[in-house]
Amino acid sequence: MQKKFLVLGSNSFSGSNFINFLLKKNCKVIGVSRSNEYNKIYLPYLNSSSLKSFKFFKVNINKDIKKLKLIIKKFRPNYVVNYIAQGMVAESWSAPEDWYNTNVLAQVRLYKELFKFKFIKKFIHVTTPEVYGSCKGQIKENFNFNPSTPYAISRAATDIHLKKYFENFKSPVIFTRTANVYGPHQQLYRIVPKVLLSARLKKKINLHGGGISKRSFIFIDDVSAATYLISTKGKIGNTYHISTKKIISIKNLVKKISKMTKKNFYSLVNISKDRIGKDDYYNLNSNKIRKELNWRVKVDIDDGLKRTLKWIDNNFAQLKREKLNYIHKK
């Protein structure tokens, strides 16, 4: 039987790539986002040969839960994967009410209605390692939260809320927390495409705090494969970390890109003061998904950066006209 997925936040980088992955798996998919589908340069599924198995609906969960309920009743998905969130960290200080409205209040209202649909087998709640705050050593899957920004606080609040729904009502929710995702089709305000495109444009980026913070960077295809395994084989009530086993500083990441693009490192960066509340270190322990679901990372960072640069170069005429900065929408 053809699997049926509802993907919330389908215009997001991870959401649109996951839809593309699902269509390759011969799944039937509905995508929901608050904005209309936009430039296909950011929506890889629009080039899928299986696009006939996909349908898009514009729905803002802050305003129109009733419309979403009607869509769900008609489609009757087996799985719901929720990427919806106000997602920027530093910017969440400027209008925290927008982050709390979308990431907490709207999400609580959303799940209250979603949990009523008994034909849905699993709800995959895509959350963030930001909830842990800056850490030392490897982090295992837990709810020992120490969020340091309004964004992280908003995500932690909903995670705890949903955890209690599972504990008290056995609501079929699963949590995923993922290392820094990158790859072709990513919005240009994110660090990897921003540095790659800036190198081609001979522009500089601001390297906050000198780039000393450390992260794991994971290629989007590996994340989509992991999310599919979690959706179909993961255990309800569980949390799964999706991450590589390698950590790199932002500075060394930029140095990799400068070498790849044959640019001097200091011609690419301006050293600026660090962002307020920025976490210095994340290192997610991903042994659980590796052991339980036999998932493996297939794309290392050097190959992933090359693939992303190829996308930049193939679409340079268009991308060079795009804005490199995040524009906030309520």
Instruction: Give per-residue pLDDT as tens, 144-174.
Output: 999 999 999 999 999 999 999 999 999 999 9
The model's confidence at residue 212, banded by pLDDT at 50, 70 and 90, is confident
Looking at 203-212, 270-279, 300-309, 311-320, which range is the least confident one? 270-279
Strand locations in the chain (E):
4-8, 28-33, 54-58, 79-82, 122-127, 173-178, 180-182, 205-208, 214-215, 217-219, 239-242, 248-249, 269-272
DSSP secondary structure letter of residue 57: E
pLDDT at 230: 98
The model's confidence at residue 278, banded by pLDDT at 50, 70 and 90, is low
Mean pLDDT of 30-55: 95
pLDDT at 277: 61
pLDDT > 90? residue 236:
yes
Mean pLDDT of 15-38: 97
DSSP secondary structure letter of residue 34: S
User: Is the pTM here over 0.85, yes or no?
Assistant: yes
- The SS3 assignment for 133 reads coil
pLDDT at 16: 98
The model's confidence at residue 213, banded by pLDDT at 50, 70 and 90, is confident
- The SS3 assignment for 237 reads coil
Calpha distance 148→35 (Å, rounded): 29
Average pLDDT of the chain, as a whole number: 94
Cα-Cα-Cα-Cα dihedral of 163, 164, 166, 170, to 10°?
Answer: 170
pLDDT at 279: 64
pLDDT > 80? residue 326:
no
| H or E segment and range at residue 307 | helix 301-314
Calpha distance 48→275 (Å, rounded): 39
Mean pLDDT of 15-28: 98
Mean pLDDT of 91-120: 95
Contact 173, 166 (CB under 8 A): yes
Which DSSP string do the residues of 277-295 spell out, in sequence order? T---B--B--HHHHHHH--
Share of the chain above pLDDT 70, in %: 97
Calpha distance 177→131 (Å, rounded): 9
The model's confidence at residue 224, banded by pLDDT at 50, 70 and 90, is very high
pLDDT > 90? residue 245:
yes
Contact 72, 46 (CB under 8 A): no
Higher pLDDT, 44 or 91: 44
pLDDT > 80? residue 30:
yes
Residue 223 to residues 2, 169, 180, Cα–Cα distance (Å): 22, 29, 10
Calpha distance 60→40 (Å, rounded): 21
pLDDT > 90? residue 271:
no
Mean pLDDT of 27-35: 97
